[in-house]
A and B are shown apart, each in its own frame.
Chain A
Amino acid sequence: MRQRSYGRDSGLTLRITFTMMMLAALWVVFMGLLFWAGIPWMFVLMFAIIGAAFQYFGSDKLVLMSTRARAVTAHEEPKLHATIERLSQMADMPVPKKIAIMETHVPNAFATGRNPKNTVIAVSRGLLDRLTDPEIEAVLGHELTHVKNRDVAVMTWAGLIVIAAGFLMQWLFIIGMFGGFGREDRREGGGGNMFMIMIAVYIGTYAVYFLAQILIMALSRYREYAADRGGAMLTGAPMQLASALAKISNDMYRIPERDLRQVEHANAFMLVPALKGNSMARMFSSHPTTEARIERLQNMQQDMERGTPFRI
């Protein structure tokens, strides 16, 4: 029997499928709720799509701005450029449009941009200083895989329901504050019933928002695993990525808060989120724990050593 290498992890595929199905089910529930309550669902959907489109087309600029990453030319950072070019060629994808550096000691990296042609890859000065060349290569492989997997697109459009529910929550809040619905109801004489419906919509929308957020975060964690895997496949060195992750998450605890704050708005995009302590419950974390990621990379390495690489 021939053995071929497969870049897939069937457990991960199953969980991504399940999450997507749950999100679809949540859409049905949410739209049903709006329909039932007589809320103009088209309007809500349209606003959400506009919001998502802004996120989709502007994510690169937004993240670059909030992290104060600065695009560098091949003259300024020849080695970084050469490494990224080489990895892109190995991955058979276009060389990222912008390569940027965050002038901070926090060792981290991110990739953003809606498609491979509009990609920005940024690494921090701390990362370049702290990691060895093969580790840097492993990190860049992880980031390039995010681009290859179209993570910005997938996460933006999967997150549409969060945006939609979020909008509706704000509107309901404003409407509730000014008592818009209440007045209208009293005129029509059906105030009690309408009030109950609004309460139901309010609670329902909160529940949808909450559940969708949990699903999106789970999806984000799966995509981190997928990027770890794809990156390690690209460089052929899972242990270099594991070592880089370990170094980065260890360093996080030693870095002053002030420096962490500089990158924390863009946490969802980062290689390792800049969070101190256990401030966020795991369920709401966009990234798996470093330990879990390293364990998976170790399993990958074991598969490779057995001569059945990347097969599960």
Chain B
Amino acid sequence: MGIFSAIFGHNKPVAPEREKFFSIIGAAFELQGNSDFRLREKAGLVMNPAESQYFDNLNSELHNLLSVSERSTGTRFEIADDDYGTRWAVLDDQDFEDLVTTVHMIAETVADHGYGNRLLASVFAVEFSRRDAYIIYNYKSGNFYPFATAGNHERDNALELRLGEALKAMNVPVERRLEN
């Protein structure tokens, strides 16, 4: 955050950056040529609902929107809230490009209503080195980061680092995020 934002107390959220976000498609296809990497055909968008009528009605709006795209792209979807009050849109599609586009469409819809700062992350399920891992796009910073679990509440930092390096090599903007 810049010094002027700090002095004036501005909190300008990062707008979803199309270019950066879509860089994951090319990267994923190139990585797939590599035996270590496989797409798991699942993605999710996580947001933190605001207490407002828009979010009360968002589920039905998203249902309408996603039903339309389900007919054209075959992307199956599910919308649910977790225990923390976080809202998830979980998408299922064999075509990775459709997954990315649909996630972006939801993000844009939410941002178009002025709620861009409610978007937290989108998550893409992959398999790396024969282990389940995730590529996460952080809407706050506009970067990707790798995420992998080892056991219940531990993160597999070594695997994350390797996946992060692999993504970086494909010119995907990756941030370091190893805490927890």
Q: Contact residues of A with B, CB < 8 Å?
A: 2-8, 12-13, 16-17, 20, 85-86, 90-92, 95, 145, 148-150, 153-154, 222-223, 226-227, 229-230, 233-240, 301, 304-305, 307-311
> Which of B30-38, B50-58, B92-100, B127-135 forms part of the interface with chain A?
B50-58
Partner pick for B114 among A13, A16, A148, A311, CB 8 A cutoff = A311
A95 touches B179 (CB 8 A): yes
Q: How far is the CA of A227 from the CA of B11 in the complex (A)?
A: 10
Interface flags for B134-156 (1: CB within 8 Å of A; 0: not) read: 00001011000000000000000
Partner pick for A236 among B8, B118, B180, CB 8 A cutoff = B118
Please give the distance in Å from A168's CB to the nearest CB on chain B.
26
What are some 16 contacts across the A-B interface (CB < 8 A)?
A3-B112, A5-B117, A8-B8, A8-B10, A8-B11, A90-B140, A148-B6, A222-B9, A227-B9, A235-B48, A236-B51, A236-B118, A304-B54, A305-B52, A309-B52, A310-B117
Q: Contact residues of B with A, CB < 8 Å?
A: 1, 6-13, 15, 48-55, 84, 111-118, 120, 138, 140-141, 179-180
Partner pick for A154 among B6, B138, B140, CB 8 A cutoff = B6
Most buried by A among B1, B7, B138, B141: B7
Collect the chain B residues with CB atoms within 8 Å of residue A237's CB: 50-51
Closest B residue to A3 using CB positions: B114
Q: How far is the CA of A91 from the CA of B11 in the complex (A)?
A: 10
Most buried by B among A16, A20, A149, A154: A149
A90 touches B7 (CB 8 A): no
Please give the distance in Å from B48's CB to the nearest CB on chain A.
6
A13 touches B84 (CB 8 A): no
B114 touches A309 (CB 8 A): yes
Collect the chain A residues with CB atoms within 8 Å of residue B179's CB: 95
Please give the distance in Å from B100's CB to the nearest CB on chain A.
21
Across the A-B interface, the 9 shortest Cβ-Cβ residue pairs: A7-B11, A226-B9, A236-B50, A92-B140, A237-B51, A150-B6, A304-B52, A5-B114, A149-B9
A154 touches B51 (CB 8 A): no
A309 touches B50 (CB 8 A): yes
Most buried by A among B7, B9, B10, B55: B9
A3 touches B10 (CB 8 A): no
Q: How far is the CA of A20 from the CA of B3 in the complex (A)?
A: 14
Q: How far is the CA of A223 from the CA of B113 in the complex (A)?
A: 27
Most buried by B among A17, A85, A95, A237: A237
Q: How far is the CA of A309 from the CA of B7 in the complex (A)?
A: 22
Collect the chain B residues with CB atoms within 8 Å of residue A20's CB: 7
Partner pick for A86 among B7, B8, B53, B84, CB 8 A cutoff = B84
B9 touches A223 (CB 8 A): yes
Q: How far is the CA of A235 from the CA of B179 in the complex (A)?
A: 22
A16 touches B50 (CB 8 A): no
Please give the distance in Å from A155's CB to the nearest CB on chain B.
11
Collect the chain A residues with CB atoms within 8 Å of residue B55's CB: 236
Q: How far is the CA of A226 from the CA of B9 in the complex (A)?
A: 6
A304 touches B11 (CB 8 A): no
B138 touches A13 (CB 8 A): no
Collect the chain B residues with CB atoms within 8 Å of residue A304's CB: 50-52, 54
B10 touches A7 (CB 8 A): yes
Collect the chain B residues with CB atoms within 8 Å of residue A153's CB: 6
Please give the distance in Å from A83's CB to the nearest CB on chain B.
9
Q: How far is the CA of A13 from the CA of B10 in the complex (A)?
A: 8
Please give the distance in Å from B119's CB to the nearest CB on chain A.
10
A229 touches B51 (CB 8 A): no
Q: How far is the CA of A311 from the CA of B113 in the complex (A)?
A: 11
Collect the chain A residues with CB atoms within 8 Å of residue B114's CB: 3-5, 307-311
Please give the distance in Å from A275's CB to the nearest CB on chain B.
24
Collect the chain A residues with CB atoms within 8 Å of residue B116's CB: 4-5
A148 touches B51 (CB 8 A): no
Collect the chain A residues with CB atoms within 8 Å of residue B180's CB: 85
Please give the distance in Å from B97's CB to the nearest CB on chain A.
24
Q: How far is the CA of A310 from the CA of B54 in the complex (A)?
A: 14
